[in-house]
């Protein structure tokens, strides 16, 4: 959520920056500043009434002590009127606060200067491409056919038990999935991240804190009776560990990692992009979350990008990095780098990670602050990234490592398995 003080000071700059998203937010920001002016005026009036009421209240005792009963009664009547006026003003101030908050929730983060303007993924910029397409002697099979051939993932059984987008992993497929999770977690630990196993359901305050709620797209599964939400990513519970927290000093760098299943409704998804593992409603992911001093967050973003690069290179996958344009940027993000691996059989790129810097946008919602050298509170910066999301990584591994003899296992995963080929 954008800071109201920032909107007051930089409204025109923010309006211009938000245009990178392909949308004009001038109406919303103008309304916010107008309401803010009204709020400040009403609050000043309320405080003035409170001050006058307190002053008269102190005089009543003196008047009674001096035997000036009539004047004391007049003062009491005046105080009663002021209390009534104060209550009306309190209600008006609260209503204005609620309206400002509602509007602030509708405004996304402002893209950083380096983020290209654009309306869709067609306007994203390729930053780097590493590796080459795998050359096959015959026609490679897509991962859903490989899964059936080697009996390692059962999509039809998932449909029977739950529905589309909830596959069963079995045998060597389940073991390979577990090996990838362990590999990603071990790499995170080696990079200095503390591992957590967080809850899979969160309350509404947690969803609001990281920007998933108010849920504009209806992508979260909602347990309505308890008003709890299944997590779309472990970013939500991990970041909310520090909701309503003031870190005691400015010398901090918090690095967290966690493996969880993730749940997304993906409403409106259809076509070839959702076949097999390409788009699931339940999927496994290892997440990285960082809380940083504003001066260090860009360096942290670079470190996270390099971490994901290292994972893909160790797996021997052909990948590319995209800097997302404003129109393809997530609601809470100031800048995002997407990682895509090349699917040899499908002959297309599959997203496997997004690494994002949110600057103060999440921290403002979370009330996540630190005390600077002057002992004043200041908002932290937050970051997160997938390291990695498993379904499309697994799809790429199955397709790119297929041979006439079976599916070979990348060397880096062999220590987690008791086999080196799926056949």
Please, are residues 108 and 18 in contact by the beta-carbon 8 Å criterion? yes
Whose structure tokens read 């709620």? Answer: 213
Does residue 372 form part of some domain? yes
Residue 253 neighbours by CB distance under 10 Å:
13
**pLDDT of 359-411, one tens digit each?**
999 999 999 999 999 999 999 999 999 999 999 999 999 999 999 999 999 99
**pLDDT of 60-109, one tens digit each?**
878 887 888 888 888 889 999 999 999 999 999 999 999 999 999 999 99
Does residue 112 form part of some domain? no
DSSP 3-state of 360: coil
**pLDDT for the residue numbered 134:** 92
Give the contacts of 99 (CB within 8 A, at least 6 positions apart). 35
Q: What does the pLDDT average to over 293-317?
A: 98
105-108: long-range contacts, CB 8 A cutoff, minimum separation 24? 105/1, 105/208, 105/214, 106/28, 107/1, 107/2, 107/18, 107/25, 107/28, 107/29, 107/32, 108/18, 108/21, 108/329, 108/331, 108/332
**pLDDT for the residue numbered 92:** 97
**pLDDT for the residue numbered 284:** 98
Number of domains in the chain: 2
What CATH number should be reported for the domain holding residue 410? 3.30.930.10
Phi, psi of 386 (to 5 degrees): -80, 130
pTM of this prediction?
0.93
**pLDDT of 9-59, one tens digit each?**
999 999 999 999 999 999 999 999 999 999 999 999 999 999 999 999 888
**pLDDT of 244-259, one tens digit each?**
999 999 999 999 999 9
268 vs 203, which has greater pLDDT? 203
Q: Are residues 57 and 174 in the same domain?
A: no
Q: Could you tell me the end-to-end alpha-carbon distance of the chain, in angstroms, rounded to an integer?
A: 51
Does residue 113 form part of some domain? no
**pLDDT for the residue numbered 271:** 54
What token pair was written down for 15?
Answer: 């309006």
Q: Are residues 125 and 91 in the same domain?
A: no
Tell me the pairing of strands 153-154 and 168-169: antiparallel
Q: CA 22 to CA 26: how far, in whole Å?
A: 12
Looking at residue 18, what DSSP letter applies? H
Q: Are residues 281 and 215 in the same domain?
A: yes
DSSP 3-state of 227: coil
Q: Are residues 98 and 161 in the same domain?
A: no
What CATH number should be reported for the domain holding residue 86? 1.10.287.40
Structural domain harbouring 66: 4-106
Q: Are residues 89 and 135 in the same domain?
A: no
DSSP 3-state of 359: strand
DSSP 169-216: E-THHHHHHHHHHHHHHHHHHHTTPEEE---SEE-HHHHHHHT--S-S
DSSP 3-state of 15: helix
Nearest to 385 by CA among 320, 336, 331: 336
Give the contacts of 185 (CB within 8 A, at least 6 positions apart). 195, 257, 259, 286
Q: Kindly report the average pLDDT of the chain as a whole number.
A: 95
DSSP 3-state of 295: coil
Annotated binding site for ATP: 264-266, 351-354
22: left (phi over 0), alpha (psi -120 to 50) or beta: left
- Length, in residues, of the chain: 423
Give the contacts of 34 (CB within 8 A, at least 6 positions apart). none
Q: CA 283 to CA 151: how far, in whole Å?
A: 19
Q: Are residues 157 and 229 in the same domain?
A: yes
**pLDDT for the residue numbered 269:** 54
Q: What does the pLDDT average to over 139-143?
A: 96
Using the CB atoms, write b or e for 262-292: b if 16+ within 10 Å: bbbbbeeeeeeeeebbbbbbbbbbbbbbbbb
Q: Are residues 298 and 267 in the same domain?
A: yes
User: pLDDT-derived band of residue 137, with 50, 70 and 90 as boundaries?
Assistant: confident
Q: CA 234 to CA 326: how far, in whole Å?
A: 24
**pLDDT for the residue numbered 267:** 61
Annotated binding site: 233, 264-266, 287, 351-354, 384
Cα dihedral 38, 44, 47, 52 in deg (nearest 10): -120
Among residues 106, 133, 155, the one where a domain terminates is 106
Query: Does 270 have pLDDT greater than 60?
Result: no
Does residue 115 form part of some domain? no
Q: Are residues 262 and 194 in the same domain?
A: yes
Does residue 99 form part of some domain? yes
The distance from CA 272 to its chain's CA centroid, rounded to whole angstroms, is: 27
**pLDDT of 205-241, one tens digit each?**
999 999 999 866 578 999 999 999 999 999 999 999 9
Annotated binding site for L-serine: 233, 264, 287, 384
**pLDDT of 163-208, one tens digit each?**
999 999 999 999 999 999 999 999 999 999 999 999 999 999 999 9
What angle, 0 to 180 degrees and rounded to 10, lies between the N-to-C axes of helices 69-106 and 26-65? 160
């Amino acid at each position: 959520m954008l800071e109201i003080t920032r909107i007051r000071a930089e409204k025109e700059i923010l309006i211009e920056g938000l245009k990178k998203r392909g949308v004009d937010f001038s109406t919303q920001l103008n309304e916010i500043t107008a309401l803010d002016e009204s709020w400040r005026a009403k609050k000043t009036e309320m405080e003035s009434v409170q001050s006058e009421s307190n002053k008269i209240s102190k005089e009543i005792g003196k008047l009674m002590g001096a035997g000036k009963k009539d004047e004391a009664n007049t003062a009491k009547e005046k105080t009663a009127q002021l209390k009534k006026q104060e209550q009306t003003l309190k209600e008006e101030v609260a209503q204005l606060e609620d309206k400002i908050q509602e509007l602030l929730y509708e405004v996304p983060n402002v893209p950083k200067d380096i983020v290209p303007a654009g309306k869709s993924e067609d306007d994203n910029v390729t930053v780097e491409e590493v590796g080459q397409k795998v050359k096959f002697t015959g026609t490679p099979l897509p991962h859903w056919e490989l899964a059936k051939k080697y009996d390692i993932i059962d999509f039809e059984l998932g449909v029977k038990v739950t529905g589309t987008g909830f596959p069963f992993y079995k045998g060597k497929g389940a073991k390979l999935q577990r090996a990838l999770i362990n590999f990603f977690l071990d790499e995170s630990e080696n990079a200095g991240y503390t591992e957590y196993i967080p809850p899979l359901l969160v309350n509404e305050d947690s969803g609001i804190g990281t920007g998933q709620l108010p849920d504009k797209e209806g992508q979260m599964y909602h347990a309505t009776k308890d008003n709890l939400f299944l997590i779309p990513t472990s970013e939500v519970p991990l970041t909310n560990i520090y909701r309503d927290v003031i870190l005691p000093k400015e010398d901090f760098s918090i690095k967290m990692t966690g493996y969880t299943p993730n749940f997304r409704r993906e409403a409106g998804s259809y076509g070839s992009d959702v076949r097999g593992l390409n788009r699931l409603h339940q999927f496994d992911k290892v997440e990285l979350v960082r809380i940083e001093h504003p001066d260090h967050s860009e360096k942290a973003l670079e470190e996270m990008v390099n971490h994901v690069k290292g994972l893909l290179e160790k797996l021997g996958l052909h990948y590319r990095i995209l800097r997302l344009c404003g129109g393809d940027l997530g609601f809470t993000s100031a800048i995002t780098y997407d990682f895509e691996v090349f699917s040899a059989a499908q002959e297309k790129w599959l997203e496997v990670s997004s690494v994002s810097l949110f600057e103060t946008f999440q921290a403002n919602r979370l009330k996540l602050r630190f005390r600077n050298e002057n002992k004043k509170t200041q908002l932290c910066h937050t970051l997160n990234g997938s390291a990695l999301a498993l379904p499309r990584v697994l799809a790429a591994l199955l397709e790119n490592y297929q041979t006439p003899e079976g599916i070979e296992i990348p060397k880096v995963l062999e220590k987690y398995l008791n086999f080196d080929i799926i056949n």
